[in-house]
Structure 1
């Protein structure tokens, strides 16, 4: 699913114009980026957490030049889903596995 598909679905389910949904989504994405870049985490109950993880400094290799490269410690964004979110995805996955695949019959 792409962002345009998500905007269309939200607009259909809520009756809110697509332009307003798009502006709301873009604003949410911008706020998530800004908040994480300031070193703060975002916790959304029942959905998950947008967090920053610290990567330790390490020595990497440039294979083409065969030299060692120092990679300084840095932070990366990450998403940690809530328990309810994980349980729902697992439930959907098990339902998909129980259904017969028409390609398997050939």
Structure 2
């Protein structure tokens, strides 16, 4: 499911226009992004939780030219 399909599902499920559903989705993702940027954990009961974790950097390799970056 892509963003437009999700907007359509929200619009039909909540009896909203597509513009209103788009605004609601953007407000939701903005709020989640802001909370994560502040270092907070976001838990949506019945859906899942989001948390930012710092990981050790790794070296990648381009499979076409075998160069590491």
TM-score bracket relative to the smaller structure: 0.7 to 0.9
Runs of at least 5 residues in structure 2 that lack an aligned partner in the other structure:
none
Cα 1:20–1:54 change in 2 (3 A) is same
TM-score (norm 2): 0.74
Greater C-alpha radius of gyration:
1
Q: Encode CA deviations 1:40-88: one digit per residue, 9 max, x unaligned.
A: 11011111101111213x5637763x7xx8xxxxxxxxxxxxxxxxxxx
For 2:29 and 2:44, how far apart are their aligned partners in 1? 14
Runs of at least 5 residues in structure 1 that lack an aligned partner in the other structure:
70-106
Partner of 1:97: none
TM-score (norm 1): 0.51
Size of the aligned set, in residue pairs, is: 65
Shift of 1:28: 0.8
**Higher normalized strand content (fraction of residues):** 1
Q: Tell me the C-alpha RMSD between the 2 structures.
A: 2.2
